Amino acid sequence: MSALGKILRESIAHDGPMPLDTFMAVALGHSQHGYYMTRDPFGAAGDFITAPEISQMFGELIGLWAAETWALLGAPERVHLVELGPGRGTLMRDALRAARVSNEFCAALDVHLVETSPVLMQAQKDQLAQVAVNVTWHASFDSVPDGPAIVIANEFFDALPVRHYVKTQEGWRQRLVGLDAQGALAFGLARETEALITADAPEGSILELSPVSQLLMTQIARRVAQGQSAALVIDYGHVETGLGETLQALKQHRRVDPLAEPGEADLTAHVDFAALARAASAAGAQPLGPVTQGEFLMRLGLAQRADALKRKATDAQAHDIDLAMARLATERVGEAPGMGRLFKALAITPPGAPVLPGVVRSAGS
Ligand code: SAH
């Protein structure tokens, strides 16, 4: 039993079962034992690997996207380039290097990184020590100053807590984390039903919602709607809201039981892009997409960037570049799943702004 497992069991024994989103927030963010607070989870030796860690091309294309987006938004004199959950800082480092193609954009930039993990904040400081722009860290998006902003979130929303509701004969009941007869963490259901959830579904169906994600998207979209701003969310997830649960726990690239070792395994859920797009529209912004990550990167010129890198590469390096491109932009790479189709990109702009690079106008917007 992990240190955090013990704390959670004691808390439940004292206060009763907790909603899944509370459990997830503690497992990932507990100030002492939370998963992200204590480690660098990335890479082959870690628990998972993300697109910027697969290839420099990913961050570079996002940097070019940001520079072009800034120009399309009317080239505001100052712009906040905000990244939510920057991990090791690799995406931002590669993006800023590529963005040097536009001196005007670089001169307008202030970088803001929103990060809660002290370990990863240090990694970001090391990674960005050499960059020539001003970088400020924030514990939450709320403290990023007003003004034109370009907000980037890669594999961030999947780490935000979700709630589950289960359809029973009497109605929808929230799933709770409680204790079983042996005192181990176990899933159970709330006694009361949820009067506000009226969706019709067969008994046993599960509804997965992320109120925290919806709230954050609302805050971002309100700012974007004020003008000369945009946001880009890239993550794995689905384009339509549906039934079913997608919560998963990963440790050393393997799936484990989400309740087994809280704080020791990464917990994520698929992002509901339709719900995010609805939150953005409701807050007055215009959603663009989502499109698959494969389409997004190919439209931004991934193949051309790979060719340019290969011209200066050895045969072995050229092979790695092709492999990275396949992992980023296609559905399967041999036996392994690629990120090209499961991952999606959703952009948001003020209403009436031009379509941004890589994405398309959403149906109905
Ligand atoms: N974007 C990076 C890292 C993804 S992992 C990449 O693509 O490699 C998720 C990141 O979000 C980590 O940096 C983690 O510490 C951070 N994070 C998770 N929950 C957070 C929260 N509630 N607020 C701020 N940062 C958070």
Whole-number pLDDT of residue 6: 96
Pocket of ligand 1 (CB under 6 A): 28-29, 36, 50, 52-53, 85-87, 91, 114-117, 120, 154-156, 159
Going by DSSP bridges, is the β-strand pair 230-238/343-349 parallel, antiparallel, or unpaired?
A: antiparallel
CA 146 / ligand 1 centre spacing (Å) = 22
Low-confidence ranges of the chain (pLDDT < 70): 363-365
Residues 259 and 112: their CA atoms lie apart, in Å, by 34
With vertex at residue 218, the alpha carbon angle to CA 212 and CA 222, rounded to the nearest 5 degrees, is 150
- Number of Cβ within a 10 Å radius of residue 211: 13
Domain assignment present for residue 247? The answer is yes
Pairwise CA distance, residues 17 & 159, whole Å: 22
Domain annotation covers residue 11: no
Residues 211-260: tens digit of each pLDDT: 999 999 999 999 999 999 999 999 999 999 999 999 999 998 899 999 99
Cα separation, 130 vs 303, whole angstroms: 29
Q: For residue 299, tell me if it sits in a domain.
A: yes
Residue 2: per-residue pLDDT? 87
User: Ligand 1: distance of its center to the CA of 308 in Å?
Assistant: 31
Rounded CA gap, 335 and 346, in Å?
28
Which residue, by CA, sits nearest to atom 26 of ligand 1? Answer: 85
Residue 154 within any structural domain of the chain: yes
Q: Which pLDDT score is estimated for 363?
A: 67
Q: What pLDDT does 47 receive?
A: 86
Positive/negative CA dihedral, 258, 260, 263, 265: negative
For 177-214, how does the pLDDT look when each residue is reduced to its tens digit (9 = 90+)? Answer: 999 999 999 999 999 999 999 999 999 999 999 999 99
Residue 107 lies in a domain: yes
Work out how many domains the chain is built from and give that number.
Answer: 1
In a domain, 170, yes or no: no
In a domain, 142, yes or no: yes
Q: For residue 152, is it within any domain? A: yes
C-alpha distances (whole Å) from 102 to each of 67, 130, 189, 273 are 7, 18, 55, 31
Q: Any idea what the CATH number is for the domain that residue 331 is in?
A: 3.40.50.150
Ligand 1 geometric centre to CA of 306 (Å): 27
Residue 44, pLDDT score: 77
CA distance 141 to 145: 9
Looking up tokens 């907790």, which residue turns up?
18
Residue of 116, 140, 160 best suited for mutating to test ligand 1, as the one with most atoms within 8 Å of CB:
116
Predicted local confidence at residue 132, as pLDDT: 85
> Residue 46: what pLDDT?
84
Task: For ligand 1, pick from 88, 115, 128 the residue to mutate: most ligand atoms within 8 Å of CB.
Answer: 115
Per the structure, the complete domain to which residue 105 belongs is given by: 33-160+219-349
